[in-house]
Amino acid sequence: MSVMDLLKETEAIQEGHFLLSSGRHSNRYVQCAQLLQYPDKAAAALKPVVNAIRADIQAGKLMLDVIVGPAMGGIIVAYELGRQLGIPSLFTERDDTGKMTFRRRFAVSQGQRVLIAEDVVTTGKSSVETAAVLEAFGAKVVALACVVDRRTEEAAPQLPRWPIYPAVRVDVANWDAADCDLCKKGIPVVKPGSRKTF
């Protein structure tokens, strides 16, 4: 079964008018938690990512010491990638001010090579914030992995040029709030994610 089939089977792809955590609006929302609640489906969806990463490690193109996922969406993804690859996995989370940080005595070391793991990448904002936390410890981000890559050129100009390992690429329309076609039609907007809009 393909990753797209798994997303559809678990109703992880939703239709409507959504306010994304980036502040942009979209006509579709990918709620990977619907997929990731099933361990067997999470393992199957991430297997192509694991295979691609493992092939690059064996070819000498990539070296990894640890996987870090931003909470909430990246926690299960980081864990499952770590489980399949045999690499430790940690997660960053927001403090009371909304700043991304390590808690729970998690830390990385100077020079460690880190893969950031996400559920869905749209603008890459959480990944960039997590990279800042890692770099403050002296670690180096070497790649990004995700279940769904839904980036667009206009929505993600700030994402660094890391190698990206997606399970699937999904083209989804998204707009700046001021230019949203759905707002112009008077369709109410819904905020589906767990993160505050920044």
| DSSP assigned state of 187 | P
Domains of the chain: 42-170 (3.40.50.2020)
3-state secondary structure 33-102: HHHHCCHHHHHHHHHHHHHHHHHHHHCCCCCCCEEEEECCHHHHHHHHHHHHHCCCEEEEEECCCCCEEC
Residue with tokens 């112009």: 184
The one-character DSSP state at 123 is S
Whole-prediction pTM value? Answer: 0.86
CA 138, 73, 21: angle at the middle one, nearest 5? 95
For residue range 10-29, list pLDDT tens digits in order.
999 988 999 987 788 888 88
pLDDT, tens digit, 9 for 90 and up, residues 179-191: 998 999 999 999 8
